[in-house]
Amino acid sequence: MLAQELSTPVLTVDLDAVGKNLERLAGLCRQQGLSLRPHTKTHKTVEVARFQLAQGAIGLTVAKVGEAEVMAGAGFDDILVAYPIMGGEKHRRLARIACARRLLVSLDSEAAAQELSRAAAAQGAKIGVLVEFDAGGRRCGLEPGPAIVTLAKAIDKLPGLKFRGLMGYSGNVWGTPEQRRAEA
């Protein structure tokens, strides 16, 4: 079938272009000794996620609990929920995922950590936690400084949680490569 014969609207994907882009990014990460954990927000599909992992990604990043559930349900075993999640019902859903899959979440408050801990402990789950710091975007995360250390220590003492590191989102950094390097 030719593209012009498709009924519109229709989604089409150039798999060769996707493959080349994934190979290029994975190669750049390997050259720099970096692990790749791509965000699924641009495609939101299990098929492309499988393709990303086949190209060398160590895991996936999602934005919401529902996206984590879809990816976990498809069998993916290393999922990062990159936005702080609030609410007992959502934390219980995350804990269910963590009972069967490796799960990382980012958060930036002790209240969220305590609530997530209660959900994880109640289900016998272990959830890895990244403390999010504000990298300049003023979206979420703690200001760099002692509060980050305090939260990390608190998380490591909570049942069902394990402090795994820091996370920042530098989406505010634009410009030439030299400008981006200076900002970073």
Phi, psi values for residue 29, rounded to 5°? -65, -45
pTM for the model: 0.86
For the segment 141-151, what is each residue's pLDDT rounded down to a tens digit? 878 899 999 99
Residue 163: CB atoms within 10 A of its CB come to 18
d(CA 26, CA 18): 12
Query: pLDDT band at residue 79, thresholds of 50, 70 and 90?
Result: very high
Of 8, 37, 42, which is closest to residue 25 (Cα–Cα)? Answer: 37
Confidence label for 172 from pLDDT (cuts 50, 70 and 90)? low
138 vs 124, higher pLDDT: 124
CA distances from 134 to 29, 82, 128, 140, 166 (A): 24, 13, 20, 6, 11
105 by DSSP, 3-state: which?
Answer: strand
Report domain extents, the chain.
37-183
What confidence score (pLDDT) does residue 136 get?
75
Per-residue burial over 119-150, b = 16 or more CB atoms within 10 Å of its CB, e = otherwise: bbbebebebbbbbbbbbbeeeebbeeeeebee
Q: What is the pLDDT of residue 171?
A: 65
Give the model's pLDDT for residue 173.
64
Q: Is the pLDDT of residue 126 over 70?
A: yes
For the chain, give percent helix, strand, coil, nearest 5: 50, 15, 35
Q: What percent of the chain has pLDDT over 90?
A: 62
**CATH classification code of 37-183:** 3.20.20.10
